[in-house]
Amino acid sequence: MRVRELMFAAILVLCAMSNGQAQDRVPTSKTEMQLSFAPLVEATAPSVVNVYATKTVQSRSRSPFFDDPFFQRFFGGNGFGAPSKRIERSLGSGVIVAESGVVVTNHHVIAGATEVRVALANRQEFDAKVILTDEKTDLAILKINEKRKFPALTFANSDDLKVGDLVLAIGNPFGVGQTVTSGIVSALARTQVGISDYQFFIQTDAAINPGNSGGALVNMRGELVGVNTAIFSRSGGSNGIGFAIPANMVRLVAEGAISGKGVQRAWLGAQLQAVTSDIAEGLGLERPQGVLVTDVVEKGPAAAAGLKVGDLILNVGRHPVDSPDGFGYRLATIGLGKSVDLTLIRRGKQIRLTLQATVAPETVPRDQRRIEGYSPFSGTNVLNLSPAVAQELGLPTDLTGVVIFKVVPGSRAARFGVRRGDIVREINGEAITSTKVLEILSKQDFRIWRLKIERDGQLIRTAISG
């Protein structure tokens, strides 16, 4: 009787499989009840490392008289005391992605580090050097200073991920040691996270905590599908909402570091806007979808492809897009020199265009200069704007002029509120057309500095005493 029942059950299972239907059931054997992630962890965990970053911070001891106006007159309000050095240490995780010892981690884990060490799962430690760091993607690439073969993970195609797929997160949360957590892919293409310039993340409920940054998110085949980078938390601990940078973006940055070419980004040469409900209604759409082209740069890739203002882009290749950030991610991961079809709606008709992925040009030399002296811009590095420079700074690529590239903390410029990305338009009525002009004017002894600065598309006029 028992044999007949088992045969009947087997027939039902085979029938369901032949019809392409999956059927939920309880485990029917001891073997099934003992299923475990252990073999997967054993294969992948050796490729996940701890990253220790050390940086030296210059500080100045604060005098008890610092707030006294009498002393501020003599010391310029900067305080006084002996300069000192303070050592700061940070802990994160990393993933070995090449047998030669190439490690991927987060930019914020090693930012400003003067010394980096990597510890393997077996507690062996090695010095490492930073060979590339990219703040825009929040990724950094390290190279272990040891000639030997290291266990490396292979990259998955993160575009194949689906919501509901099982994943493991491996890292070193709170410095307690290597830890593995399991979960599922909760969402894809998250763009409103505010972590990096390329807003396109895998969301998972696998527990991710401080110290997991730079760790691995792996699929059930033991492939790297993402690099854990952030959590959404009000308490600082895991609330089941973690974010990972997709493997396709990680691979792009890693390959740039290994080849020595660095991160070369494709340029669209157009401005895009998300489609709101009101815009969708005005376009006759049933729901918001796609991204709207609001400006096209002359002689840019978008213009060469035939894009026009008012076009509604629906797909990049086979992937739908519904935000400028999503489009930016798809464009970045195409690969320079390659082309992709864009599906769009123009005047109610669906058409296709082919876009070539090319780098933004440096139409004028950037001519970087350091501004010193008593100018309100003293303590800044400035560049001539070009599409390439504008793209680096996240500015519209059709802007021209002179832009603030770096502001030294504590400098006169910093105290006056000058910011990275500010465009200097005028000083005392004279147009700033190049970094050379700005440097010459900054050496003048003006009693009053009347400035015109463009910030986030708005003109700011101010006057500062010399």
- The percent of residues above 70 in pLDDT, for the chain, comes to 82
Do residues 148 and 91 touch, judged by C-beta distance below 8 A? no
Confidence of residue 9 (pLDDT cuts 50, 70, 90): very low
Ranges in the chain annotated CATH 2.30.42.10:
266-359, 369-465
> Catalytic one among 47, 90, 107, 108?
108
* pLDDT, average across residues 193-214: 74
Q: How many CA atoms lie within 13 A of 318 on its CB side?
A: 2
SS percent in the chain: helix, strand, coil, step 5: 20, 35, 40
Q: Looking at residue 152, what is its pLDDT?
A: 94
Q: Which CATH superfamily is domain 46-144 in?
A: Trypsin-like serine proteases (2.40.10.10)
Q: Which CATH superfamily is domain 369-465 in?
A: PDZ domain (2.30.42.10)
Q: Looking at residue 464, what is its pLDDT?
A: 87
Q: Looking at residue 58, what is its pLDDT?
A: 59
Do residues 252 and 243 touch, judged by C-beta distance below 8 A? no
Least confident of 94-98, 110-114, 205-209, 324-328: 205-209
138 catalytically annotated? yes
* pLDDT, average across residues 396-425: 91
Confidence of residue 11 (pLDDT cuts 50, 70, 90): very low
Kindly give the pairing relationship between strand 125-134 and strand 102-105. Answer: unpaired
**Average pLDDT of the chain?**
83
Q: Looking at residue 124, what is its pLDDT?
A: 92
CATH number of 266-359: 2.30.42.10
The 10 Å Cβ neighbour count of residue 354 is 11
Distance CA 405, CA 421 (A): 6
* pLDDT, average across residues 246-270: 88
Comparing CA positions, the residue from 223, 185, 227, 230 lying closest to residue 203 is 185
Comparing CA positions, the residue from 285, 222, 212, 280 lying closest to residue 242 is 212
Q: Looking at residue 27, what is its pLDDT?
A: 72
Q: Which residues contact 407 (CB under 8 A, 6 or more apart)?
A: 379, 380, 413, 414, 418, 419, 420
> Catalytic one among 158, 186, 213, 442?
213
211 belongs to an annotated ligand binding site? yes
Do residues 207 and 180 touch, judged by C-beta distance below 8 A? no
108 catalytically annotated? yes
* pLDDT, average across residues 154-167: 91
- Interior CA angle at 147 toward 142 and 152, to 5°? 55
**Backbone phi and psi for residue 218, each to the nearest 5 degrees, phi listed first:** -120, 155
CATH number of 158-259: 2.40.10.10
* pLDDT, average across residues 448-466: 89
213 catalytically annotated? yes
* pLDDT, average across residues 14-23: 47
**pLDDT digit string, tens, across residues 225-235:** 999 987 655 55
**Residue 312 one-letter amino acid:** L
Q: Looking at residue 16, what is its pLDDT?
A: 46
Residue 67 pLDDT exceeds 70: no
Least confident of 67-76, 111-120, 176-185, 448-457: 67-76
Distance CA 279, CA 265 (A): 30
CA gyration radius, the chain: 27
Distance CA 406, CA 308 (A): 35
108 belongs to an annotated ligand binding site? yes
* pLDDT, average across residues 140-155: 94
Distance CA 363, CA 397 (A): 11
Residue 448 pLDDT exceeds 80: yes
Q: Looking at residue 24, what is its pLDDT?
A: 60
**Residue 179 one-letter amino acid:** T
Q: Looking at residue 239, what is its pLDDT?
A: 60
**pLDDT digit string, tens, across residues 349-395:** 999 999 998 888 888 999 999 999 888 999 999 999 999 898 888 88
269 belongs to an annotated ligand binding site? no
Ranges in the chain annotated CATH 2.40.10.10:
46-144, 158-259
Residue 34 pLDDT exceeds 80: no
> Catalytic one among 47, 90, 93, 138?
138
Query: 292-318 as b/e, with b when 16 or more CB fall inside 10 Å?
Result: bbeebbeebbbeebebeeebbbbbbee
138 belongs to an annotated ligand binding site? yes
